[in-house]
Copies of this chain bind each other. A is one copy, B any other.
Amino acid sequence: MINKVGRDIPDALLTNGREVYQGKNYMDGKYIQKASPRTRRCEKPVDTKVVDSLVEALKQCGAKDGMTFSFHHHLRDGDYVVNQVMAAAIEELGLKDLTIAATSLGAAHDPIADYIEEGKVIGIQTSGIRGRMGEVVSAGKLKTPAIIRSHGGRPRAIEAGEVHIDIAFIAAPTSDPMGNCRGIGGKSNCGSMGYAMSDAKYADHVVVVTDCLVPFPNMPASVEAIDVDAVVVVDSIGNPKKIASAAARISQNPRDLMMAENVAKVIASTPYFKEGFSFQTGVGGPSLAANLFLEQYMDEWGIKMGWAIGGICGPMVELLKKGKVGKVIDVQDFDLDAVNSINQTPGHFEMSASQYANPANKGAFVNSLDFVVLAALEIDTGFNVNVLTGSDGVLRGAPGGHPDTAAGSKCCIIVTPLVRGRMATVCEHVVTVTTPGDCVDVLVTDYGIAVNPLRPDLIECLDQAGIPHVTIEELKEKAYSLVGRPDDLEWEDKVVAVLEARDGTILDVVRKIKPYDPNQAE
């Protein structure tokens, strides 16, 4: 069936009432029956939940073939926990047919590719998929199609019972012996633990994995002991150097700065740019640089930002400390400045992934956003964005909060250079639709600005402010004139990944690339 963004979704996927994408807010007002985990009553006082090993914890939680294990990605490329747990389950306990439901996966998890090839891991549900895992999944080696969700779509699916987590593994920088976890105070600090919260509340069993045991009670707890079955102390949960980087630097690249300045101009031309406006930005070069120009406009107009959300990094913490933003609400931290600020700097709060972006609760933060500034791997003339598959069709990205913030915000601005190397960023059809075009309002490139025709109000704003803009078709033609029109990718029929829209409908599928062969590719 062809969906709202023109993608052909195989009927075989449309079972159990699953629908194809029908446009933003299609599910608004419908009802959801929440999932009901089955948990073990711990009525009798115990002195500690610490067990000797991951194997012991797995046994205690009844780990068996076919189960779904969940993980969160606050330790980012420094994460050791996914690999440690899967090694214990597969190599020590001999389990098979396992599914990994992670908030995101990356190059740190290359060893999981082997388990996929061996058929031990048969399902992957994630936002990000990169590195060797992306390659083997793209090569069709995962038994079931990977399910790719946004950061808001994941808690939605968990709360709706579409993902049933048998055991959630919580990578915790600190935990007390009962399982109260925090993201700071240890040797592998990650700050916010927002993505782990829904997992802990909806999993049947919860195992905390920490490398820093602290006295009870470890408060304020990001994951609460009342949801935790067992605590395992390991040597290290991650590589601190790769968990949080030093403060994110704002780009000095003149092209990036020019685009960033134009983003700020566009923002300032809209009626939403007023005292108390709300804002989210990515951490890519031009997105982050937009902060700088925005601050200049705020000073000039004498207004302050009301609140900011998202993955947080140093420049936003700096604005908070300078009193230029009222509150920062934080689901993930990207650098040490943010890690060391959350729950410490007044006005810097932690939130769950559901609070951040779940479209099926009663009002996530993204739905109150005025502006979001986002990057793209590709954007097509329907304003559809791809942040998942490379130009070769291989999985190597993550929708993350992109579709959620784009859908929820009053003004979603994509900022990207028109071409990257020999690839056109603005194109006829993106390889994979990860954010539907009806959620994207403005495109800022180094060769011009385009506004989505769905937003005549914004077109008028730009005109009144004297900001030149063109059609997105013109930008596409310019891009093709610079680097040529790319050849169409050739696909096999086999679906290797299903791209869920934030509301749970199917936005796109990724098929096996032809004649993709990871061995030849080396």
Contacts and interface: CB of A to CB of B under 8 A. Distances in A.
A34 B36 contact: yes
A226 B45 contact: no
Nearest to A326: B215
Oligomer: number of copies: 2
Interface string A439-459: 000000000000000000000
Interface stretch (A217-225, A288-296, A317-325): A217-225
Interface in A5-38: 25, 27-38
B34 A30 contact: no
B38 A33 contact: yes
Contacts of A227: 361-362
Contacts of A113: none
Contact of A45 (B41, B43, B217, B367): B367
Interface of A is mostly: loop
A204 to B, nearest CB: 9
B27 A31 contact: no
Nearest to A369: B45
Interface stretch (A138-146, A331-339, A351-359, A466-474): A351-359
Interface in A219-271: 219-220, 224-229
B276 A363 contact: no
A307 to B, nearest CB: 6
A68 B139 CA distance: 54
Given A225-B363, A327-B217, A40 B31 contact: yes
A167 B51 CA distance: 41
Contacts of A363: 42, 46, 49, 178-179, 225-226, 228
Nearest to A34: B36
The range of chain A's interface size is 35 or more
Interface in A388-427: 408, 410
A39 interface: yes
A36 B39 contact: no
B29 A349 contact: no
A306 interface: yes
Given A35-B36, A38-B31, A329 B217 contact: yes
Given A226-B364, A361-B227, A363-B49, A219 B327 contact: yes
A501 to B, nearest CB: 11
Contacts of A30: 40-41
7 contacts: A28-B41, A28-B42, A29-B41, A206-B362, A217-B365, A219-B327, A220-B349
Interface of A: 25, 27-46, 49, 161, 178-179, 206, 215-217, 219-220, 224-229, 276, 306-307, 327, 329, 349, 354-355, 358-365, 367-368, 408, 410, 503
